[in-house]
A and B are shown apart, each in its own frame.
Chain A
Amino acid sequence: MKVRAVLPPFLPLEEIERRVNAILPGVDVVTSVDAPGKIPPAEVEVLILTTFHDFTASALTAYPSLKFVQVASTGYNRVDVEACRARGVMVANIPVANSKTVAEHVILLALALLRDLRGLDADMRRGEWPMLTGANDLAGKVFGIVGMGRIGRELAARLVPFETSTIYTDVVALPAEEERRLGLTRVELPELLSQADLISLHLPLTERTRGVVGAAEFGLMKDQAVFINTARAELVDPLALRDAVTRGKVRAGLDVYPTEPPDFSDPIFQAPGTAFTPHIAGVTFEAQQRFLQETVKNVLRYVQGKEPLYRVDAPSAPP
C-alpha cells in the first residue's frame, strides 16, 4: 500500500516519519501536495493531509490511483470533498483527538476575559498593585454554545462544575438524557445570542454556516458579552466583529482569523476586552500525540481492508 503524508515543514518530520514507519513501513513524508517525493503522486493510494494544505479538484487529478484521503485534524474544509466523492475517493477526518483540548481553551479564554487576566498581568509587570477589578464570576452566567458537536459536548461537560446556565443551539437536538447529563437547554440562535453572557462558536464551516454571525447577531448580544471563536474565522463577518469589539459592545476571545497569520494592524488587536491566541486552541502536546495515533490507526484500518472511521464523504456525514 503506497501511503503519502503531507505535513507542514515546522513539524519534527524525521521523528514523525520514524514513528509512523515503525507501524506503516514505506510511508512517504513530504511537505507539499505536489512534491515529487519517494512515491510519485500517480501511484499514491492513501494521502494523509493536515489543515495546513489545500487539496483541490485540480490537485486530485495528479493522484489517479488515490483511494483514501485521511485528514489528520478535525477541520477538513481545505479538502474538496465533493471532488473526492465524485471520483470515489473516501475522505475521513479525526474528530476525536482534540475536542477536549479545544474545550479547555475556550474556558481559558472565558476566564481570562471575565477576570481581566491581561489587564492584571500588565499592571503587575508595570510594578502596579491594583486593588479593584471589574472581574466577574463564571458561576451563574448564561453560557451559550453554538453548535453541539463533539467539542460543544466536551465544553458543556466542563461547564457543569462551573455552575453555568448552559444553553445551546444546533440543528439537531441532543437526546433528552444527554441534555440532562450535561445540564443543557436548547434554544434558537436569536434567543441564545440575546440571553447568553458568554457565547462560543463550535460549528463546522459550510456554505450554510459561513458568516452566521454578522452585525445583526452582534446587535442581539448583551453589552459586554464574551464572544469566543475557536472554530473558523469564516463563521463570522470580520467587519462586524471588529466593529462590535472596538465599540466595546462585546469582549472577544479569538483563536482563528480570516488570514493566518492575521493583519496585526487591524484595530481589533488594540481593543481592550480581548484575548488572542494563534489558532492553537486544539494544539497541545497531548492532542498532537492523539492526532498521530488516531491517524495511523485509521489508515491501518484501511490498509487492513476495513472501512475507515470518521468518513466525511459519506451521505450521512455531517454537513
Chain B
Amino acid sequence: MKAAEELSRLLESHGVHEIFGNPGTTELPFLEELRQRYYLTLHDAIALGAADGAAQVARGVAVANLHAAPGLGNAIGFLDSARRNRSPVLVTVGQQDLRHADQNPLLFGDFEAMVRGLVKRFHEVRRPEELEEAVERAVRAALEAPMGPVVLSLPMNVMEEAARPTPFSARSEFATDEDVQGIAARLRTSSNPAIVAGYEVDVFDAFAEVGELARRLGAPVYAEPICSRSPVAEGLPNFAGDLLPQSAYIDSMLGAYDLVLLVGADLTLYPYSAAPLLSRERLAYLGSDPSVPTKLHCDRALGELRRLLRAVLADLPASGRSFRRPPDFGRANRVARAASRMGGEFVVDAIHRAFPDYTVVDESVSLIPTMKSVGFYRGKDSYFSSRSQQLGWGLAASIGISLRRPKTVVVVGDGALQYSIQALWTLARYRLPTKVVVVNNTSYTILKSYSKANHPRLTGAEYLDLPGLDIEAIARGYGLDANTVDSSERLDGALAGLRGKDGPALLNVRMDRTVPDLFS
C-alpha cells in the first residue's frame, strides 16, 4: 500500500468522504489512490471555502486539497476566514519532490512560512511512517476547541512510497473548567444581567440551554457582533437583536447591564471608536475560545459550551425577573415603503418568506443587517456567514454546506458574487441543488455607505459602481438555470420559481441602488 492510499484510508476513518480541490501535478500521486469523492472547483480558494462550509455544517473535519505554493497562495484569504470561522478544515497541499528541494524547483515553497499565524498546526510529512501520527495530530488539533484549520504538506515522493503505519492514539475531548461555579455565582448575584450569544451555540447545539439560561435570568439575549451562525433558536422571546461591531454601539446597547455574559461569543470590533469597551468587571465568558476572555481580561470558564451551560444551570435558580423583546411593528411599514423601489427591506422580506425551511448562506454584504433582523436565525444549521466578512466565501462555502443540506440558499451581492464566481460551475457540475439569489444593486454599496459616513467625497466615485455585468448570462455560461427579476410585482413569483427548480439555479434580483446609512 502506498502512503497516498494510507492517507486516504486514515481520512476515511475520520469521516471524510469527500475532498474539494483543484489539482495540479503535485497532487496526482495522492489523487491516484483516493477513496473519497473528489469535488472539482475551478479555483483553489473555492476548494478551501467549500471545505470550510462542509466542516461547519458537519461539525467535523473537511478536507481541501490545494496545489503547491501557487494554490496555497491563492487560498490564503479563505484560510484566514476558516481561522476566524473556527472551522476545522484540514488542508492538504501537494509539495514538490523533496529529493530536489535544495534546487528550489518549480512549485516548491516554504508552506510553513506562508501559513504562519493562520493555522492551528502545520506539518510536512517527510517520511511515510510519520503519516498516521501527522493525520491524527492534525485532526485532533483541528477539532479541539477552539476549532480551526490545519495544514499538511504532502511531498510527491512521500506519497509514492510504501506506507509504514505507526499506530497512534489521539484523544479529543473538552474539559470543563472549575471556573463555572464562579460564573454561576456572579449570575446569581447580578441584578440586571444580559447575554451575548455567539456562533458556538450552533456549533455545540446549545440552543435549549441558552433559552433556559435566558428564561431563568429574565435577561435579553443579544447576538454577538458579526455573528456567523444562528445564536438562538427560532422564536426565542428573549432575543433582542444583533450587536453592531463598534465599541460605542456595544456600550450603548449593553451599558445598562451589571453583568454581560458572553456565551460562545466574541466582541468583534470595526470600525474604530474612541469609546472604551465595557469594563472587564462587567464581562464574563463561557465558551471554547481562550483568546476572547484573554483579550477582554474577563472571568472565564473554558470548555465545550453545552456542558458549561448545563453546569451553570445546575446551580442557578430562577431569578423572578422576566424579559420579552418588544414587538417590531415598524418592520411591516419599512417593507411596505421599500416595495415600490425594490428596496432592501422588501427584497429580504420576500426571500425570508420564500425560503422558510432553507439553510441560508448570507453574503448580502450591505443587506446583512436587514437579513439578520427579519428572522433568518432559525436554530441549528439555519444561517451561515463568514466571521471574516471575506467576499467570495459564501458561494464557495455553499458547495460544502449543500452536500449535507440540500435545501441551501445563498444570498449574495453582485460584487461579492464575482470573487468566487467559478463556484457556480462546481454547483452545476455536481448538480448540487443550491439556490443563489443575487441581490444586485450594481455597486459596492457597503463602500458607498461607509464613504457616505466617513469620506463623503468618495460616494460618487465611479470605481464603486459595477455596470455592465450580465449576471444571468454569466450564470448560464457556467451551466446554471438563471433568471432576472426587476419588479416588485414579480418578485414573489420569481423566488417561487427559483425554489421550484430541481438543480442549482440563480435569480438575479435587480434592486434599489439607494445607499443605506449603515455607518452613521
Contacts and interface: CB of A to CB of B under 8 A. Distances in A.
A183 B332 contact: yes
Interface in A209-255: none
B273 interface: no
Interface in A181-198: 181-185, 195
A39 interface: no
Interface string B303-332: 000000000000000000000000111101
B493 to A, nearest CB: 12
B336 A163 contact: no
Interface in A138-183: 140, 142, 159-161, 163-167, 179-183
A179 B329 CA distance: 12
B391 to A, nearest CB: 31
Contacts of B349: 180
A180 B336 contact: yes
A152 to B, nearest CB: 15
A166 B329 contact: yes
Contact of A163 (B327, B333, B335): B333
Contacts of A185: 327, 329, 332
A166 B330 CA distance: 7
A164 B330 CA distance: 7
Nearest to B330: A165
B337 interface: yes
A183 B338 CA distance: 10
A195 B332 contact: no
Contacts of B107: none
Contacts of A167: 329
A142 B333 CA distance: 10
A140 B330 contact: yes
Given A180-B349, A195-B327, A165 B333 contact: yes
Q: How large is the interface on B (under 10, 10 to 19, 20 to 34, 35 or more residues)?
A: 10 to 19
A180 B330 contact: no
A181 B339 contact: yes
Which among B327, B329, B330 has the greatest number of chain A C-beta atoms within 10 A?
B329
Contacts of A161: 337
B334 interface: yes
B332 A184 contact: yes
Nearest to B329: A165
Interface string B229-266: 00000000000000000000000000000000000000
A276 to B, nearest CB: 29
A121 B14 CA distance: 80
A160 B335 CA distance: 10
Nearest to B338: A183
Contacts of B337: 160-161, 163, 183
A181 B338 CA distance: 10
A195 B324 CA distance: 14
A107 B398 CA distance: 49
A183 B336 contact: yes
A212 B77 CA distance: 64
A241 B327 CA distance: 28
A195 B329 contact: yes
Contact of A180 (B327, B329, B335): B335
A181 B339 CA distance: 8
Contact of A181 (B327, B330, B336): B336
B516 to A, nearest CB: 15
A136 to B, nearest CB: 16
Contacts of B329: 142, 165-167, 185, 195
Contact of A179 (B330, B332, B339): B332
B327 A166 contact: no
B330 A182 contact: no
Contacts of A159: 333
Nearest to A161: B337
Interface in B128-176: none
Nearest to B333: A183
Contacts of B335: 180, 183
Contacts of A163: 330, 333, 337
A182 B336 contact: yes
A184 B332 CA distance: 6
Contacts of B330: 140, 163-165
A183 B328 CA distance: 12
Contacts of A142: 329
A185 B336 CA distance: 11
Contacts of A179: 332
A180 B335 CA distance: 7
10 closest A-B pairs by CB: A183-B336, A165-B329, A183-B333, A165-B330, A183-B332, A160-B336, A185-B332, A185-B329, A167-B329, A142-B329
5 contacts: A160-B336, A165-B328, A183-B332, A183-B333, A185-B329
Interface of B: 327-330, 332-337, 339, 349
Interface of A: 140, 142, 159-161, 163-167, 179-185, 195
Given A142-B329, A179-B332, A180-B332, 14 more contacts: A140-B330, A160-B333, A164-B333, A165-B329, A165-B330, A165-B333, A166-B329, A167-B329, A180-B336, A181-B336, A183-B337, A185-B329, A195-B327, A195-B329
